[in-house]
Structure 1
Amino acid sequence: MKKISWLALCALLGAAVLVGCGAGESEPFEEKTYTAQTEQVREVRLDVRDRSIEVSASEDGQIHIGCAENSKEYYEIGVSEDGVLEMTAASDKSWTDYIGGKAAAGSRKITLRLPQAQLSALALYTTNENVTFSDFSAGRITVSVNGGDIQFDCLDVEEKLDLQVKNGGISGTAAGSQSDYAVTCAVKKGESTLPAEADGGPKQLAVSANNGDVNIRFAG
């Protein structure tokens, strides 16, 4: 994977914006916006910790990622030769940096503005925060959250929707009807509106929840 700088990928910094610090923080966070041309990217993958992720359709058809960084907590972003944009959490913290709690809420949010129905795959992984979608579609969508919820409104896929939570719940509306999906659902210590298995197709809906409820409805 080739690492690409914010500037090389058209970072829209504008004036530097400092967001609030949480208890024990010695350095404020700076808000940044990363923009990539849709032609460069066919898949997007985020693997972060302690960050909420908000996904919605891009108004201009390009990819925009908004986040906050400082020298202790930041992200490595790159695009592979086969068109996979990957964003991973990075840290230069020492043990003393963990004293006093985590960053303020505004610094723990990532916003994704993605082209509607153009990505072949989207994969999101986070902990201790929620992942939310607003009216979005892609070829395949995978979301895994440990310690938070997955929430969505009118989420659509061409192939597979794979949702996994631990110590959290899953709720929202999927496009189409249940008969459009081959469903598998495994829930421990919770309740579900989905059957454990159901034939259908051609799409796949795979859901897993440990210590949380599943409440998925269908728009059709």
Structure 2
Amino acid sequence: MHLSERILIVRDRIQKGRSRMKREEFLNTLFENIPNYTKEEQEEIRQYYEELICDGVEAGLDEEEVISRLESPENIAFSLKKEYKEERKAEVSVVCDSSDDYTSSQPVAHAVISARDRGIALEPSEDGRVHVHCEKDEIDEIVCYEKEGMFFFSHRSKRRMHFFGGFSRVDSTIKVQIPESVMQAELSTTNGGIRISEISKPEMVKAHTTNGGITCNDVRASHVELISSNASVKCEDTKVQTICMESTNGALRLKDVQADEKLVAHTTNGSIHFEEIDAKDIQLKTSNASIKGTLRGKGTEYAIESGTSNGKNSLPSKWNQSDSAAKRLSVHTSNANIKVAFEEM
């Protein structure tokens, strides 16, 4: 592009303003007035105005003169915030049925639910919509919106009940219902448990919590991830492709859990007990606690690796390490016993 053409473009884009300032002062003032923008959004804005200023300098103007012909940073911020509010209005299309109920208004493929100091219960929805029931009081903050097939609900509490002895006057469990159209469900909380029941067809179900237990019952999904700390994780009557159960200082319990591919159960200082579990690749690991239970199938089907210290082990340390083995089993603990039996179904 010829210099004369660039001059015309720059002059068309630059509007007369009221202030004379250096580039950094201009940008800093602008960003002070748009604090809600993310770092990525601010970087995009910075690049735009730096390129605009550079174009003006290359067109023969000095930096302060270019900036003086721009709108003031306060006016630019006002326009940007107006656009930001319009975008947020487009996002926040969730129907609030009452002060405590939230319902999706369009098809949802991805549901994200997060909370603080609350439990979460996930169940199926019968009407094809996502529903969230969250009783709240004056110190709770709720953000809820949907955008491009994603439903997002976030609960935050200013209460510090675990340290100051406060008690809530409302039902502490957030009740969530999702339809079969939801392909991915993510649940996370702190200081609260998570309960998942009768969910079918999603590609992914994730449940993460701290200082709270997780129970998963009657779930049919491609992938399930259940992670907690300082509490137990339980799973029953569940059929998946892969499942990962993890905890620290908490027990793991599995009953009638089947995985087409991989089943991983890891914890520390907590026992792992199971009944009638089955997968092509089973990995069970803990420390300072026992591992015991029954696996579906014959022991000869498995390539086995196992080990413990200061405890008894019913499994061989190594068995059938051939690549032709139909299934793989890894079982390890320390300072405790391993007792695993096989049952033909």
Residue 123 of structure 2 is aligned to residue 35 of structure 1: no
**CA contact 1:42–1:120 (8 Å) conserved in 2:** yes
Query: TM-score when scaled to structure 2?
Result: 0.46
SS at match of 1:180: strand
- Among residues 87, 94, 119, which one is paired with 2:182 in the alignment? 119
> What is the CA–CA distance in structure 2 between the aligned matches of 1:215 and 1:66, rounded to whole Å?
39
Match of 2:131 in 1: 64
Q: Deviations over 1:80-115 (max 9, x none)?
A: 3x3221212235x498xx8541314x4321001110
| Alignment correspondent of 1:182 | 262
Which residues in structure 2 correspond to 1:44-123 (within 5 Å)? 44-80=111-147, 82-91=148-157, 93=158, 99-104=164-169, 106-116=170-180, 118-123=181-186
- Structure 1, 177-186 or 129-138: larger mean CA deviation: 177-186
Change (3 A) 1:214 1:74: farther
Between the aligned residues of both structures, percent identity stands at 18
Deviations 1:54-73 (A, max 9, x none): 11111212111000223321
Q: Give the paired residue count.
A: 189
Does the Cα contact within 8 Å between 1:123 and 1:143 map onto a contact in 2? yes
> Which residue matches 1:128?
191
Give me the whole-angstrom Cα distance separating, in 2, the residues matched to 1:216 and 1:63.
38
For structure 2, list consecutive stretches of 5 or more residues without a partner in the other structure. Answer: 1-83, 241-256, 296-344
Identify, as 1 or 2, the structure richer in strand: 1
Which residues of structure 1 form unaligned runs of 5+?
Answer: 14-30
Q: Aligned in 2, Cα 1:157/1:191: closer, same or farther, shift over 3 Å?
A: same
Q: 2:227 aligns to what SS in structure 1?
A: strand
Shift of 1:37: 3.2
What is the CA distance between 1:172 and its match in structure 2?
A: 2.4
More helix by share: 2
The answer as to 2:78 corresponding to 1:11 is no
Aligned-residue Cα RMSD (Å) equals 4.0
Give the superposition deviation at 1:210: 9.8
Kindly indicate whether structure 1 or structure 2 has the higher relative contact order, using CA contacts under 8 Å at least 6 residues apart.
1
Q: Which residue of 1 aligns with 2:7?
A: none
SS in 2 for 1:62: coil
3-state SS in 2 of match to 1:50:
coil
Which 4+ stretches in 1 moved above 6 angstroms? 205-218
State the distance in 1 between where 2:288 and 2:101 align: 35
Distance 1:216 1:37, change over 3 A: farther
Between 168-177 and 183-192, the greater mean CA deviation after superposition: 168-177
The answer to whether the 8 Å contact 1:150/1:171 transfers is: yes
Distance in 1 (CA, whole Å) between partners of 2:112 and 2:289 is: 25
Task: Provide the C-alpha distance between the structure 2 equivalents of 1:135 and 1:10, rounded to a whole number of angstroms.
Answer: 25
Match of 2:227 among 161, 164, 170: 164
Shift in alpha-carbon separation, 1:170–1:100, aligned structure 2, 3 A: closer
Q: 1:208 and 1:3 mapped to 2: Cα distance?
A: 46
Maintained 8 Å contact 1:168/1:213: no
Q: 1:128: Cα distance to partner? A: 1.7
Q: TM-score, normalised by structure 1?
A: 0.70
**Residues 190 and 94 of structure 1, relative CA distance in 2, 3 Å threshold:** closer
- The Cα offsets for residues 12-52 of structure 1, whole Å up to 9 and x where unpaired, read as 12xxxxxxxxxxxxxxxxx511111351x210111211111
Question: 1:182, 1:166 → 2: CA distance?
Answer: 22
Letter in 2 for 1:33: D
1:191 equivalenced with 2:271 (yes/no): yes
Question: In 2, Cα distance between the equivalents of 1:127 and 1:211?
Answer: 26
In structure 2, distance between residues paired with 1:119 and 1:212: 38
Contact 1:54 1:110 in 2 (8 A): yes
Q: Secondary structure at the match of 1:166?
A: coil
Which of 198, 204, 217 matches 1:140? 204
